[in-house]
Every structure is written in C-alpha cells, then in structure tokens.
Amino acid sequence: MSLGIDPNSYANYHEVVVTNLEPNLTVDFNRKLLYGYTDITAITKHSNVAYLDLDIRGLAVESVQNLDEKVTSHSYLNFTIPRNHSIGAQLRVPLPTDKQNEGDKVHIRVNYSTSELSGGIQWFEPNQTAGKKHPFMYTQFQAILARTMIPCQDTPAVKQPYTMSVTVADPLVAACSGAEHCKPVKDESKGTIKYVFHQPVPIPSYLIALAVGALKRESIGPRSFVWCEQEQLEAAKDEFSQTECFLKAAEDICGMEYKWGTYDLLVLPGAFPYGGMENPNLTFISASLITGNKELTDVIAHEITHSWSGNLVTNSSWPDFWLNEGFTMYIERLILMKVAEQNEKGTGMKVRDFQACLGYGELTSAVRSLQSTPELTKLAPDMRGIDPDDAFSRIPYEKGCLLLLYLEHLVGGVQPMIDWLRKYFVEFQRQSITNKQMIHHFEQHFPNVKVDWNTWLYEEGMGPWNPMSYLDQTMNKQTQALVDKWTVDGANDIDANASDIKWDPAQTMVFLDNLANGGKKLGHDVIKKLDEVYEFSKSKNVEISVRFLRLALENEYVDVLPVVEDFVSKHGRSVYLKPLYGELILLSDKKLVDKQKVKDIYQKNRSYYHSVIRNAFDAKLAH
C-alpha cells in the first residue's frame, strides 16, 4: 500500500490502518438520516501508536466501544474531535493500552447517526421520483464524502473489504456496491427489511455505495442487471443492452478477466451530479443517459473500464486523480475502437481518433474555463486545503488521456501501449499507487523512451503536445467543413439543412465545441438559424444540448434562457451546471440578464441539486 500523505484526510493510516468496515445502519426517510453503528477493524503498523484517527463529517458520534472487551463502563473509549475543518473532522480514538505493538488488531464500534450535513447522501421525496409513491435515497462518496456516512480512513490510499447491513421500511429495496450476502430478513412486527451486502475485494472508502427506493431489476446480460424504478425499466433495458459487449472488449484490452463477478447498473434521478459512478458491481448512472438511441452509452464503457483503472489500481490521493480518470478515458476510447471495428471493419481507428479529437476539444474548453484558477489546469495540482470536488474538472480526464496518447505515439502505437497496460494492471492490482510508481513502471517497461514528466504533471495549460497531426482526420475534416460553413458573417448566406448532421453524434459535439473554441463571436442570427435547422434545443442528447446552450450563452444570445432554465431544472450533472450557471453569472455581470432572475432559477432548483453543486454555487447564487 502506498504511504504518500493524503492532503484531504486526517486519518493516521501510516500508523494504524483500517482493514475492515462493517456499517450496520437503519434508513429513516422521515428524518432523512441513517442511524446505527460501524464496526471497524484496524491493524497497528508500528509500536507505540496511541490513537486511531478517522475522518468524519456531519456525523453525530454518540460513543465508541472497544469490541474486544465485555461491555462495561471500561469498554467505552474516550474519543475526541481535535481537528475540525470545513471538509472534514478528525475522530480520535485512543487505542487500548494493550494494543500498541506492531501488528496488533484493534476492533471498535462507533455508534452515531448522520445529519443534514451528511453531503454524501441525497434524499428524494416521493414526488421527485418516477413512480411518485415511494421516497428514494442514494449515496455518492467520491471524492471525500464517505466520511459523511461512515467513520473511516477516507483516503483512497487505504483499501478494505466491507459488509453493510441496512434496515429499510418494507417494501423498499436496498442495493450496495457489493453482492447480496444473505437473503433479506423481514421483520413483520416492525414493518422492516434488513439487507446485508458484502464486498470481498479491498476497496477505497469512496467506492462504498448504497441506494434505497422502489427498485426493480431486469437482466441485461449474462452477468448484468439494470436496477431502476418500474417506470423506467423497459427503456433502461434497451438503452444498456450493449453492456456485455463493452465488458468483453474491456477484458480483452486490459488482458485480465473482470474480477468483480456481476456488473449491474443502477439508474438515478437526473439530479445525480455525474453521468456515471463506478461503484463496484453496481455502477450508478444518471437517467439522462437514456436517450432512446444508445447515443450516450460511452459512459457505460467508461465506468466498466474503472473496474481495472480506479477500482483495481487506485490513485493513492486526489492530486493523482488522473491515474483513475486519464487511464480510464484512454482505455474507454480503445473499447469504442474495438466495438466500432466489430460493427464495421476498417472503422475502429477512425472512431478512436475522432473520440480523441473530441477529448482535445474538451481539454481546450476546460482550460479556457479555469483561467482564474490555473493551478487546476495542472495534471497533478496542489490540493492542500481544497475540497477535491471543488477542483473537479475535465483536466485530469483529458490532459491525462492526452499524456497517454502522447506515450502511445512515442512507443509506436496502440499495441505496445496495451502490452504495457496489461503488465501495469497485473503489477498494481489491489493497490493504491502514486504518479511516481506509474512513471517508474513505464520507464522499466520502455527504458529507451524519454518523457518530460515534470512538464506534463506540474505545468499549467494544455500540455506540451498537440495530437492533431498524429490523429486520423477523416471524421474531423467533415466536422471542420461544417464549422467553416457556419463561421461566416451573416446567417442568410448559410446553406444548411438537417441532413448535415446525420453522422456520428460525437461529430455534432465537436462541431459545437469548435464553434465555441474558435474564438470568433457568432451573430445572433447565426445561432438562431443553427437551432432552427438542427433543433439543438430539442435534442434528447444532453451532451449536444448542453454544448449548444453554452455556445448560445457565450455569444450573449439570451433568447435561449427559457431552454437553459428548463435544462438546469432537469439535469444536475456538475459538468453541465458549472458552465451554464457560470455563463449566466457572467451575463448578469454584463447586465444582459437580470441577476435576480439567475438567482431565482437557482433557488427554484436548489433543493433538487446535490450538495456538491450547492457547495459550488451557494456563495454566488443563494439568496
């Protein structure tokens, strides 16, 4: 296990490390909290360790017991909370005096309940669900929100198996990021059901996950189910039917079988702040991925990839986050390449390279929007005192993927990269690793390849290499031709019709990105015509609508405001809301939109948004 210091945790995992977590919690929808206890096993790493320091946030801790003693007044340990910062507090538990030698096993129980400050848990009233009858809740722990439900060493440097018991009101169904451990037990007198889940593979705390609601499930492959409310079941089943095909492609590329047994998907309300979250055995996805035509299923390929990069080989701290996401983007695009090739011979590389062009556009947009915080455009930023969720952007994804593409170009193509990646997964599986370890492994494998790692990791901006001349330009040229057609002075001269964009939807995304990133302001007549001809505001593909809306706002086309208002009331995804609210704020600074109007839009949706979104915007937009 890596011993780098995690700037976002108070845990003393260098001294005593948690080896097992067993939360036993009851879900109380009326009070919107969970209560119960978590049993923790830890092992001391050297002698004279006086405390076990855990991360907590928003937890009301009642007591801590030493489980190795019979319950007496002595078996309670006098915990303290010596440090308390906005991103978390330190729960300090004195180790029993007989547990201070190297290798001693400590076994404690923390009794507590969560609170409204438990930002890792989102609650929905029945009227916010598809079925409107039952409440719903789910957890989202990445990056540092596990501590808001479970006292733990909330750093990705520490990995442990877990067993979670959850008691819910009958007939609600619980699901966790692990397999069902035993049959659910009904208590007729209390009207409750107790579920127990177990994840045997050691995982970082951010991968622990729970959802409770009126969930149904349906098989979508030999090792996969989709979970959602009855109302969405048919559509979800169709949309995600390629899951097994992505799993097989991922196994082939990573050179290692899928190690987690089953791979299920759980559909969450559009308020979910991400497209997908790779909780082991049970990827959480946003309902917004259901478009009716499988246009956004690349997110599934992405989350499946995390079964290797992220969940088996894990970044040891959040400044190393690109090891999770950059590797995942790179491999996700290889999966899309493989699947395209299977569908139509000769198209694989073209599709992969175009996906990489799309990524380069995303990187350009991300660098542009981070102008005021350039530290965050570094691949390995300084995160001391920063909440990683506030630092979240596409930089680690796309600059990370760009670095791997650059390495591919240096080592002579995709196949040598795949050969290296396979060894990398074997070497580091079940571990948490740092940038240094990855670099060392690469250099051992390719001793003659020289890379300026410092520039890549620690310099701001786009990175020292432009991939365009390396990438196949077939699809990009088609896109560029349409961009050229639209970057003229008046809309009247543009001869366009809907069939222009009867192509890969990724081409429409790049088209819109390039119109935005080209630096040329577009006239309002041009934007209006764009929407009339291609009907972007009506698109079911959220990746397309958000790009159009952003482009319109950037060009001060305020007529689009009602569409933006509708969009932000349905989709809580962070990468969409950040640019849209960001643009609305800029427009209100320029007095083109009434500031109060922007605040009203935000206020109307605030209770629907996840805590990470509220944290990002409250200071600017809450009344």
Report, in Å, the least distance between residue 302 CB and ligand BES: 4
Partner touching 1 among ligand BES, Zn ion, none, CB below 5 to 8 Å by kind:
none
Q: Which residues contact 80 (CB under 8 A, 6 or more apart)?
A: 92
Least separation in angstroms between CB 497 and ligand BES: 31
* Residue pair 164/176 in contact by the 8 Å Cβ criterion: yes
Which whole-number Å values give the CA distances from 63 to 60, 108, 503, in the listed order?
9, 10, 61
| Residue nearer to Zn ion on the CB measure, 178 or 275 | 275
Question: Which residue do the tokens 């690793």 mark?
Answer: 433
240's contact among ligand BES, Zn ion, none, with CB below 5 to 8 A by partner kind, is none
Tell me the one-letter amino acid at 607. Answer: S
Sheet holding 88-94, edge to edge: 51-56, 88-94, 80-85
From Zn ion, ligand BES, none, interface partner of 143 (C-beta below 5 to 8 A by class): ligand BES
Strand blocks (E) in 272-413 = 276-277, 282-286, 313-315
Count of H helices and E strands in the chain?
18, 22
Closest CA to 289 of 272, 309, 307, 308: 272
CB of 274 to ligand BES, least distance (A): 3
| Beta carbon of residue 611, minimum distance to ligand BES (angstroms, whole number) | 12
The Cα–Cα gap between 306 and 250 comes to: 10
* Of residues 42 and 506, the one with the C-beta less far from Zn ion: 506
Question: Which entry of ligand BES, Zn ion, none binds 299, CB below 5 to 8 A by partner kind?
Answer: ligand BES
- Matching residue, tokens 């432009």: 466
Using CB under 6 A as the criterion, which residues of the chain lie in contact with ligand BES when the complex forms?
A: 142-143, 274-278, 299, 302-303, 306, 325, 392, 397, 575
Q: What token pair was written down for 97?
A: 């005096």
Q: Give 88 or 135: the residue with its C-beta nearer to ligand BES.
A: 88
Q: Which is nearer to ligand BES, 135 or 276 (CB)?
A: 276
Closest by CA position to 173, among listed 240, 224, 119, 230: 230
Is 332 assigned to a binding site? no
Candidate segments 318-326, 401-409, 426-434, 567-575, binder of Zn ion by CB under 5 A? 318-326
The residue (of 143 and 526) whose beta carbon lies closer to Zn ion is: 143
Residue 612 Cβ vs ligand BES, minimum distance, rounded to whole Å: 8
In the bound complex, what is the minimum distance in angstroms from residue 614's beta carbon to ligand BES? 15
Alpha-carbon span 291 to 296, nearest angstrom? 7
- 3-state helix, strand and coil shares in percent for the chain, rounded to the nearest 5: 45, 20, 35
Q: Pinpoint the alpha helices (H) of 240-347.
A: 243-254, 298-305, 322-343
CB nearer to Zn ion: give 243 or 328: 328
- Dihedral sign, CA of 284, 288, 292, 296? negative
The binder of 610, among ligand BES, Zn ion, none, by C-beta within 5 to 8 A per type, is none
Task: Tell me the C-alpha distance between 71 and 346, whole Å.
Answer: 69
DSSP at 394: S
Q: Decide: helix, strand or coil at residue 551.
A: helix
Stretch that binds Zn ion, among 171-179, 317-325, 466-474, 483-491 (CB under 5 A): 317-325
Q: Which does 6 bind (CB under 5 to 8 A by kind): ligand BES, Zn ion, none?
A: none
Query: Phi, psi (5° rounding) for residue 134?
Result: -120, 150
Q: Is 302 annotated as a binding residue?
A: yes
CA atoms within 13 A on the CB side of 260: 29
Active site residues: 303, 397
Specify the residue, 4 or 119, whose C-beta has the smaller distance to ligand BES: 119
Taking the complex as a whole, the smallest distance from the CB of residue 318 to Zn ion amounts, in Å, to 13
Q: Which does 138 bind (CB under 5 to 8 A by kind): Zn ion, ligand BES, none?
A: none
For strand 431-433 and strand 313-315, is the pairing parallel, antiparallel, or unpaired? parallel
Whose CA is closest to 302, among 265, 273, 256, 268?
Answer: 265
Terminal-to-terminal C-alpha distance of the chain: 46
Does 610 count as an annotated binding residue? no
Residues 322-361 that bind Zn ion (CB under 5 A): 325, 328
Residues shown for the chain: 623
Nearer to Zn ion, 53 or 264 (CB): 264
CA 124 to CA 33: how far, in whole Å? 12
| Interaction partner, residue 142 (ligand BES, Zn ion, none; CB < 5-8 Å by kind) | ligand BES
Could you tell me the CA-to-CA distances from 137 to 215, 226, 271, 389, 609 in Å, in that order?
Answer: 11, 17, 12, 20, 13
How do 282-286 and 264-268 pair as beta strands? parallel
Known binding-site residue numbers? 302, 306, 325
Known binding-site residue numbers for Zn(2+)? 302, 306, 325
Residues at the site binding Zn ion, with contacts judged by CB under 5 A: 325, 328
